[in-house]
């Protein structure tokens, strides 16, 4: 199975309670704003420690409160693409990609820079500054940086938000290609029923 997640976590007065198993290549996490979807991604990535629970991805246990397991974020090998892309503004696209590649040990890299650039169709962006990119271009670069870090799984937080119809469609097709052609499980957060029904084999609703 790809994702096996049971967790409890409190944010203020709200408690997140989640328990799911998914064997699908792309799993979607949906629900209303404020339900805690991004917090769940942060827990899986190791950026937030759940109050209790167990998180395993691809059979590897990343967190288990009962067993005292809490793998460091940098050792979880999560490819996290944030909603706002979070590219380094002082680095050109090529250097942003190189940063991702530097995060992976040689034995953990399963895709090369040229392959990523070609797969994502971003060769024409390499000499550009992040501030000159459209929203869709920035997210393609962010996905490329994540892939070059040699991740064992991808976390995508609202990757299509704030994009116009044409750019959203381009990115949808790209995510479909990643799902179908790269052997990497994906957990996607989305508010869009159309996006979820098109991409996900398994849908988890957080309310």
pLDDT in tens, 116-135: 999 999 999 999 999 999 98
Mean pLDDT of 29-55: 93
How does the average pLDDT of the chain come out, rounded? 92
Ranges of each domain in the chain = 24-48+72-205
CATH of domain 24-48+72-205: 3.40.50.300
In this prediction, residue 148 carries a pLDDT of 92
- What does pTM read for this prediction? 0.92
pLDDT over threshold 90, residue 185: yes
Helix segments in the chain, DSSP class H: 37-45, 73-76, 93-102, 113-120, 135-148, 165-181, 193-199
Kindly write down the DSSP assignment for every residue of 105-128, as one continuous string.
-GGG--S-HHHHHHHHT-GGGTT-
User: Sorting pLDDT into bands at 50, 70 and 90, what band is 102?
Assistant: confident
User: Sorting pLDDT into bands at 50, 70 and 90, what band is 1?
Assistant: low
Mean pLDDT of 62-90: 94
pLDDT over threshold 80, residue 80: yes
Residue 11 sits at φ, ψ, to 5 deg, of -125, 105
In this prediction, residue 61 carries a pLDDT of 97
């Amino acid at each position: 199975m790809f994702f096996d997640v049971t967790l409890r976590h409190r944010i203020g007065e709200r408690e997140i309670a989640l328990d799911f198993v998914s064997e699908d290549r792309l799993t979607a996490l949906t629900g209303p704003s404020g339900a805690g979807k991004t917090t769940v991604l942060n827990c899986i990535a190791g950026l937030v420690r759940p109050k209790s629970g167990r998180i395993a991805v691809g059979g590897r246990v990343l967190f288990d409160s009962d067993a005292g397991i809490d793998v460091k974020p940098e050792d979880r090998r999560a490819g996290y693409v944030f909603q706002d892309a979070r590219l380094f503004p002082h680095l050109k696209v090529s250097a942003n990609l190189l940063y991702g590649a530097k995060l992976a040990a040689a034995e953990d890299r399963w895709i090369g820079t040229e392959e990523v650039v070609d797969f994502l169709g971003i060769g024409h962006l390499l000499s550009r500054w992040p501030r000159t990119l459209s929203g869709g271009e920035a997210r393609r670069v962010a996905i490329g940086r994540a892939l070059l870090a040699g991740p064992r799984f991808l976390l995508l937080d609202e990757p299509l938000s704030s994009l116009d119809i044409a750019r959203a469609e381009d990115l949808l097709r790209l995510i479909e290609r990643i799902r179908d052609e790269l052997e990497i499980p994906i957990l996607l957060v989305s508010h869009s029923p159309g996006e979820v029904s098109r991409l996900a084999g398994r849908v988890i609703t957080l309310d």
